[in-house]
Amino acid sequence: MRSATTWLALAMCAFACAAPARSQRTLPPLGDEGEVYVYLEPFPAEAEHLAFTVSAAQVARADGPAAPLELLLPNLGGLGTSRQRLLAWGRLPPGDYTSLLLTVKRATLGSPEGRSDLLVPPEPDRVPVAFQVERGRATLVALTLQYARSVDRSFAFSPAFTAEQARTPVEQLIGYCSSTALASLTAFDRHRHRALAVTPVGRAPEGVVLDRRAHRAYVALPGEDQVEVLDLATGADLQRLPLRGGDRPRELALTPDGQALVVLNQGSYSVSFLDLSTASELARAPTGEEPYSLRLDRSGRRAYVFNRRSNTVTVVDLPSRQVAATVPVDAEPLRGQVDRTGGRLYVVHGGSSYLTVLTLPDLTVASRLYVGLGASAVEVDVRTDRVYVAVGRTLEVFDPLSIVPIDSFELPGAASTLAVDEVENTLLAVLPDLRAVAFIDLTSRHLTGLVDVGESPYATAIEGELR
């Protein structure tokens, strides 16, 4: 296992050398096209001194000209390629493709005497890989560098790769992350920290919730005022659950019986209850202004909506589907989480330096803890009841009894959401600026992995997560 220092250096190197600014684009759904995502597997140990720059990536088909891909990681080598990376991506016409073309601009090799330039081919290097692009579907291709075949006697470089499609692990070890910009859902291996597959979805996906009993995923589509229903086994679009025009659904939660979906509508300042058997709306309840996130309590009887503009928390009674209370809190409440006993609600704020602690069910303020400006996410590990608060690139750890900080450590980027994976004993943090999901071991508090998931990642979804 890599040390925390090594992983942090890896992440920062990748960020400084390759990660562009956070994207603002939102692509439309695929339509008649398909997609390909080209991931690069970790470089072998013997390639630790190799570095090269790719200036273009294309895919070729037997019956037509090569099609360009969007190159996401031009500079390769060093710590930035000691983990799986998303190299290139593109939307393509359906058909059979035979190879990947990589144009290498420069390559260098390090030695005790320093770095030396390697000769590179003037023409694009052809990587044989056969894959099919289907309408409305995505293909993930994984490349593995063959170092011995790529470097010729330390003076010439012509990249040689083997290519294969990712294998799917046990379903219970798969997590998902939505990409708002790319209109996609990336499936990743929570144990090996690798991207496995990409599923195209509707416009601007945000919140995702899983129903393992029904083998379905529900994806909020604010760009289409719908909730998309996916088959977890095949990725097929099974159904669309319509909402009202202008609702802009943002986050989702399943009721404990799995019969209804609770939908936070950021556009209409409301919460909808959708009957999953009839795909119809059962009821809706008003929220405050600019509802930002949604959280269910441990019993599944209440939902908490954090209203950023009105500086309130709306409490919704799930059995009656009505507003039970509205609680004023500090400026810009963003997210909250309930402790394991259901007796406390922790709230982080975008406009306040304090973490608000509310007692439940009476909703009184028990305390306000100073965490500093920039808090963006909060999570509770129900096994220990410890509270994790993301503040910028710092993750603060609070003792559940004294509610005082007992530890803190640096993340490679600012986290937008947090989630505890009890099976793997890790904390998952979505890092939008790095376009990645980070994995933190909860025993050692070390960063153990990063997975590239595309532009504007919104949130993860894993089995057993409280929504």
The pLDDT, as a whole number, for residue 371 is 96
Tally the C-alpha atoms within 13 A of residue 130's C-alpha that lie toward its C-beta. 1
Classify the phi-psi angles of 91: left when phi > 0, otherwise alpha if psi is within -120 to 50, otherwise beta: beta
Answer for the pair 286, 327: CB distance below 8 angstroms, yes or no.
no
- Compute CA 273 distance to the chain's CA centroid, rounded to the nearest angstrom: 26
Q: Let me know if residue 57 belongs to a domain.
A: yes
Whether 128 maps to a domain, the answer reads yes
Tell me the pLDDT of the chain (467 aa) as tens digits.
444 444 444 444 444 444 444 446 889 999 899 999 999 999 999 999 999 999 999 999 988 889 999 999 999 998 889 999 999 999 999 999 999 999 999 999 998 888 999 999 999 999 998 999 999 999 999 999 999 999 998 789 999 999 887 666 556 689 999 999 999 999 999 999 999 999 999 999 999 999 988 999 999 999 999 999 999 988 999 999 999 999 999 999 999 999 999 999 999 999 999 999 999 999 999 999 999 999 999 889 999 999 999 999 999 999 999 999 999 999 999 999 999 999 999 999 999 999 999 999 999 999 999 999 999 999 999 999 999 999 999 999 999 998 899 999 999 999 999 999 999 999 999 999 999 999 999 999 999 999 999 999 999 999 756 55
- Calpha distance 239→226 (Å, rounded): 10
The DSSP 8-state label assigned to residue 47 in this structure reads: G
pLDDT of amino acid 14: 45
Instruction: In whole angstroms, give the CA distance from residue 200 to residue 386.
Output: 36
387, 397 Cβ separation under 8 angstroms = yes
Q: Domain for residue 66, yes or no?
A: yes
Per DSSP bridges, beta strands 70-71 and 75-77 are unpaired
The pLDDT score that the predictor gives to residue 365 is 96
Q: What 8-state DSSP symbol labels residue 363?
A: -
Angle ∠(459,464,467) on CA atoms, nearest 5: 50
Task: Classify residue 424: in a domain, yes or no.
Answer: no
What Rg do the C-alpha atoms of the chain give, in angstroms?
Answer: 23
Task: Give the DSSP per-residue string, 11-36.
Answer: HHHHHHHH--SPP---PPP-TT-EEE
pLDDT score for 17: 45
Alpha carbons 456 and 433: distance in angstroms, whole number: 8
320 found inside a domain: no
Q: Are 232 and 216 in contact (CB under 8 A)?
A: yes
Q: What is the pLDDT of residue 5?
A: 46
CA 348 vs CA 329, 374, 386, 408: distances in Å: 10, 9, 15, 17
Classify residue 181: in a domain, yes or no: no
Task: Give 186-215 as a DSSP string.
Answer: EEEETTTTEEEEEEE-SSS---EEEETTTT
Residues 263, 243: Cα–Cα separation, whole Å: 9
313 in a structural domain: no
Given a contact cutoff of 8 angstroms between Cβ atoms, the answer to whether 187 and 196 are in contact is: yes
For residue 109, give its domain range.
Answer: 31-165
Report pTM.
0.91
Q: Looking at the domain assignment, is residue 65 inside a domain?
A: yes
CA distance 185 to 178: 4
> Which regions of 62-94 does DSSP assign to beta strands (E)?
64-68, 70-71, 75-77, 85-92
- Split into its structural domains, the chain has a count of 1
Coil, strand or helix at 432: helix
What's the rounded Cα separation, in Å, for the pair 51 and 396?
Answer: 36
CATH number at residue 85: 2.60.40
